[in-house]
Amino acid sequence: MKPTLLVLAAGMGSRYGGLKQMDGLGPSGETIIDYSIYDAVKSGFGKVVYIVRESFLDQFKQTVAAKYSHVRCTDGSPLEFVFVTQELDKIPEGFTLNPERQKPWGTAHAMLMAKDVIHEPFVVINGDDFYGADSFRIAAEWCRAHENSRGVFSIVGFELDHTLSESGGVSRGICHYDKDMHLTGIVEHLNIVLEADGKVRGDNSVTSERVVLDSSALCSMNMWGFTPDFFPRAWEIFKDFLAQNSTELKKEYYIPYAVDCMVKEGYASTDVLSTSSHWFGVTYKEDRPGVVAKFAELVKEGIYPSPLY
């Protein structure tokens, strides 16, 4: 069984200031998504599903056709690509939208756009985050182990100090889990930085307190593993969400919210997986030079070829 990679690439990157999913950051102009797909293919993935906006669908298709046409899976078969689009009006029938709303409904809504094209265990990632080879290896192993499972999901947890930005504060969901490494909750913390005294601090979104955080705590970087039974229940939860929020301008239906609902109602449990990989990404424009330097170093160390494809 070859798992599928679901790439969330519909965001425009408001803080970054442009379509960062297409920004060439590697030594030969590779994008962050290019490295994710490279690592995923080496780990045994067989299909990539892109979630994009209608406005740049053609650009993505042209880029993929030119760049990945000769990429082969570990079994020698061609890597399959599917494209689906996320728009704010792609919602269940019977709901009235606020005509002033401009953005779609968030990451769980984005995932639902792929419900008709994914029928096997799959992994979700952000298109603008670098996750590292170890993360894809762990996620692929989980998917293969759960080919015939139902009601079991997973999240790849990164050590907090492996996810910080030198250019400003970041928001991270700190994972809480039981002795069996089953997720019990995610608490969002805002403006997380390594401060002058050497301690990592962030603002707890629940209590609004600024607190010291364990630098080795596992946090979510939106890398999840799912079995296909996620989709039907997530669609019903989305209906409940819209019943309360359809006229809102900014509220969004996020993956952690959907997972939390399913865990609390007993529909699914979520395994917390731990990776040694270091995350990096372009949260801010100021992050770009550092990311370019990191890719150059990874190529110099022989971890990645240049060009990738």
User: What is the predicted pLDDT for the residue at 287?
Assistant: 84
Instruction: Dump pLDDT digits (tens) for 172-206.
Output: 999 999 999 999 999 999 999 999 999 999 999 88
**CA nearest to 283, candidates 190, 176, 159:** 190
User: Can you give the pLDDT at residue 135?
Assistant: 97
pTM: 0.92
Q: Which residue in 199, 226, 221 sits closest to 279, CA to CA?
A: 221
Q: What is the Cα–Cα distance from 175 to 259, expressed in whole angstroms?
A: 13
Q: What is the helix (H) or strand (E) element at residue 116, kind and residue range?
A: none
Q: What is the pLDDT along the chain (309 residues), one digit of tens a residue?
A: 899 999 998 864 433 344 555 678 999 989 999 999 999 999 999 999 999 888 888 888 888 878 888 899 999 999 999 999 998 888 888 888 888 888 888 999 999 999 999 999 999 999 889 999 999 999 999 999 999 999 999 999 999 999 998 888 999 999 999 999 999 999 999 999 999 999 999 999 889 999 999 999 999 999 999 999 999 999 999 999 999 998 888 899 999 999 999 999 999 999 999 999 999 888 777 888 999 999 999 999 999 999 998
Q: What's the confidence (pLDDT) of residue 139?
A: 98
User: How does DSSP classify residue 22?
Assistant: G
Taking domain 4-156+220-300, whether its CATH number is 3.90.550.10 is answered by yes
Name the burial class of residue 156, with classes exposed (0-12), middle (13-18) and buried (19+) by CB atoms within 10 angstroms of its CB.
buried
Distance from C-alpha of 124 to C-alpha of 139, rounded to nearest angstrom: 10
Element (H, E) at 198: none
Q: What's the pLDDT score for residue 286?
A: 85
